Chain A
Amino acid sequence: DAMVIQNPRYQVTQFGKPVTLSCSQTLNHNVMYWYQQKSSQAPKLLFHYYDKDFNNEADTPDNFQSRRPNTSFCFLDIRSPGLGDAAMYLCATSSSNGHNEQFFGPGTRLTVL
Chain B
Amino acid sequence: GENVEQHPSTLSVQEGDSAVIKCTYSDSASNYFPWYKQELGKGPQLIIDIRSNVGEKKDQRIAVTLNKTAKHFSLHITETQPEDSAVYFCAASALYGNNRLAFGKGNQVVVIP
How big is chain B's contact interface, by range?
20 to 34
Verify if B44 is at the interface (C-beta below 8 Å from A): yes
B41, B44, B101: the one contacting A109 at CB < 8 Å is B41
Which of chain A's residues have a CB closer than 8 A to the CB of B99?
Answer: 31, 94, 96, 100, 102
Q: Which residue of A lies closest to B103 (CB)?
A: A42
**How far apart sit A96 and B36, CA to CA, in the bound complex (Å)?**
19
Asked if B89 is at the interface (CB within 8 A of a chain A CB), the reply is: yes
**A42 surroundings in chain B (CB, below 8 A):** 89, 103-106
A18 at the interface (CB under 8 A from B): no
Residues of B within 8 A of A34 (CB): none
The residue from A45, A101, A105, A106 contacting B46, defined by CB atoms under 8 A apart: A101
Q: Report the contact-size class of chain A (Cβ under 8 Å from the partner).
A: 20 to 34
**Could you tell me if B44 and A43 are in contact, using CB atoms closer than 8 angstroms?**
yes
Residues of B contacting A: mostly? loop
Q: Which of B43, B49, B95, B100 contacts A48 (CB 8 A)?
A: B100
Residue B42, interface by CB 8 Å: yes
Question: A104 to B44, Cβ gap below 8 A?
Answer: yes
Q: Is A76 an interface position by the 8 A CB rule? A: no
Instruction: Map CB proximity to A onto B87-108 as digits: 1 under 8 Å, 0 otherwise.
Output: 0010001011111110111100
With both beta carbons as reference points, the residue of chain B lying nearest to A91 in the complex is identified as B43
Contact partners of A109 in chain B: CB under 8 A: 41
Q: Is the CB of B44 within 8 A of A31?
A: no
Distance between Cα atoms of A103 and B43 in the complex (Å): 9
Q: How far is the CA of A17 from the CA of B34 in the complex (A)?
A: 37
- Give the distance in Å from the alpha carbon of A105 to the alpha carbon of B45 in the complex: 9
A107 on the interface (CB 8 Å rule)? yes
Task: Choose from A6, A45, A101 the contact partner of B100 (Cβ within 8 Å).
Answer: A45
| Nearest 3 CB-CB pairings of A with B | A42-B103, A104-B43, A100-B99
B: which residues have CB within 8 A of A? 32, 34, 36, 41-46, 49, 89, 93, 95-101, 103-106
Other than the given A101-B34, A103-B46, 4 more pairs (CB < 8 A) read A90-B43, A96-B97, A102-B34, A106-B43
